[in-house]
């Protein structure tokens, strides 16, 4: 499979490296590849500049959002929530049409400082906004409810814990569930919440996730739904 991972932050890097290690071809998308490679200072979260990471992953290419999305058979949105619609617009609807679009972004709004609020929220979600803006894409919201180290290494957590998927296209959700299993998630850990409107719920757990982070002082935790079982 060829994956286009849109996003040069820690999440895009983590997912891209994992897909690559699984033997997939991976291209990372960014606004301006030259500018991204020219950054020399750590990002706001203290992650090393992209070029330093890229030097260790020369097999992963870097391209504009549009070129990356054109190349990818499956596209992952790992851009900031406030920039996701702009990033995907730059990627181009024609490069997303008919493809699975895995959305791991959170609609965090930092414009009023910390803690961030959610925008959109309650009666809408970023996942739905993306699906509405790109009706030809098969949006599947997943993995946004945990730190990225857990996304790609569920075994780092002792005991059972869960990952949610939702989206309007059953085939796309099956493909994403298979991808999750290939990363190491037990099939029984994947909870299908239904259509893309369920993204409201998975995005609205972020306030409690942030408070747990504050309480624990680390990000090595995840949600475990006691009593989870297949529908029907």
Binding site for ligand NAP (CB under 6 A): 7-12, 30-31, 36, 78-81, 83, 86-87, 104-106, 108, 144, 147-148
Decide whether 40 or 232 has the Cβ nearer to ligand NAP: 40
Quote the least distance from Cβ 121 to ligand NAP, whole Å.
14
Decide whether 10 or 17 has the Cβ nearer to ligand NAP: 10
Decide whether 66 or 175 has the Cβ nearer to ligand NAP: 66
Give exposure, 45-84, as e/b (b: 16+ Cβ within 10 Å): eeebbbeebbeebeebbbbbbbbbbbbbebbbbbbbbbeb
Query: Pseudo-torsion of CA 195, 163, 141, 73, nearest 10°?
Result: -120
Quote the least distance from Cβ 53 to ligand NAP, whole Å.
11
Quote the least distance from Cβ 139 to ligand NAP, whole Å.
14
Collapsing DSSP to helix, strand or coil, 60 comes out as: coil
Residue 211 backbone phi and psi in degrees, to 5? -70, -35
Question: CA-to-CA distance for 213 and 207, rounded, in angstroms?
Answer: 10
Quote the least distance from Cβ 79 to ligand NAP, whole Å.
3
Decide whether 50 or 169 has the Cβ nearer to ligand NAP: 50
């Amino acid at each position: 499979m060829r994956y286009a991972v849109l996003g040069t932050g820690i999440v895009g890097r983590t997912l891209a490296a994992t897909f690559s290690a699984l033997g997939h071809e991976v291209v990372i998308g960014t606004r301006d590849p030259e500018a991204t490679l020219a950054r020399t200072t750590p990002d706001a979260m203290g992650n090393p500049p992209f070029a330093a990471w890229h030097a260790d992953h020369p097999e992963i290419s870097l391209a504009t959002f549009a070129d990356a999305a054109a190349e990818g058979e499956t596209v992952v949105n790992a851009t900031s929530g406030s920039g996701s619609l702009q990033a995907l617009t730059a990627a181009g609807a024609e490069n997303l049409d008919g493809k699975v679009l895995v959305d791991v972004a959170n609609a965090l709004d930092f414009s009023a400082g910390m803690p961030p609020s959610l925008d959109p929220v309650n009666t809408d979600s970023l996942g739905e906004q993306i699906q509405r803006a790109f009706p030809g894409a098969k949006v599947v919201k997943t993995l946004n409810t945990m730190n990225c180290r857990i996304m790609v290494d569920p075994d780092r957590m002792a005991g059972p814990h869960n990952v949610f998927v939702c989206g309007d296209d059953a085939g796309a959700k099956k493909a994403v569930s298979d991808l999750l299993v290939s990363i190491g998630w037990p099939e029984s850990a994947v909870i299908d919440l239904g259509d893309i409107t369920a993204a409201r719920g998975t995005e609205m757990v972020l306030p409690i996730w942030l408070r747990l982070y504050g309480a624990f002082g680390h990000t090595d935790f995840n949600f475990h739904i006691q009593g989870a079982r297949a529908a029907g």
